[in-house]
Copies of this chain bind each other. A is one copy, B any other.
Amino acid sequence: MSKLLQDTVGELSKLPGIGRRTALRLAMHILRMEPDSVAEMTRSIDRFRNQIKHCAHCNNLSDEEVCPICADRERDHTTICVVEQVADVLSIENTHQYKGLYHVLGGVISPMQGIAPSDLKIDLLCDRLAQGGIREVILAISTSVEGETTLFYLMNRLRQYPGVKITSIARGIGFGDELEYVDELTITHALMNRREVE
């Protein structure tokens, strides 16, 4: 195989979910792209890797020291939604329903993977609460074992800020989910937290 092709396939197949066959297909597509488009793509990737910052307040990805959400005076600066990762911010933003701020932990506590509380941006969150002005912290952490561990750890840590209400996003049956295929734990939760129909 051509060394240039081999190198590109090798590099692309280091990406998650991309095997050698997919990498080869991508390489063939790249070959059909305009050289300028390819250069634009690789430049974007390099720029992203070298210039991206983490927001000094919420740890979200940002082009500046402070991200556009934290810098937005129109948003509700008394509410913080705590999420595991950057993608979660995008998911919530896409609903256009939430107007508060965020805090990106950068993962969940996982003894198995050697991720301790100190590896997450929990101290930064506590600093924000210590500064005052926060009325509610919404915990939007996944329901995995690691997620639940993180949730309990956070609830303990955040208890030291008495003026702050701690809430967790609702668990239940998703819209469009069929009961037949929903796991028992979710159904149990959904039954226990049933609401009177208004």
Contact = CB atoms under 8 A, between A and B. Distances in A.
Interface of A: 1-5, 7-8, 10-12, 14-17, 22, 24-31, 33, 35, 37-52, 60-63, 67, 85-87, 90, 93
A35 B50 CA distance: 7
A29 B49 CA distance: 10
- Number of identical protomers: 2
Contacts of A48: 4-5, 7-8, 27, 30-31
Given A42-B45, A45-B42, A63 B24 contact: no
**Secondary structure at chain A's binding surface: helix, strand, loop or mixed?**
helix
B29 A15 contact: yes
Quick one: which of A2, A11, A12, A28 has the most chain B CB within 10 A?
A: A2
Given A46-B39, A48-B5, A24 B61 contact: no
Contacts of A45: 8, 11-12, 30, 38, 41-42
Quick one: which of A8, A22, A87 has the most chain B CB within 10 A?
A: A8
B38 A4 contact: no
A59 to B, nearest CB: 12
Given A2-B63, A38-B46, A15 B11 contact: no
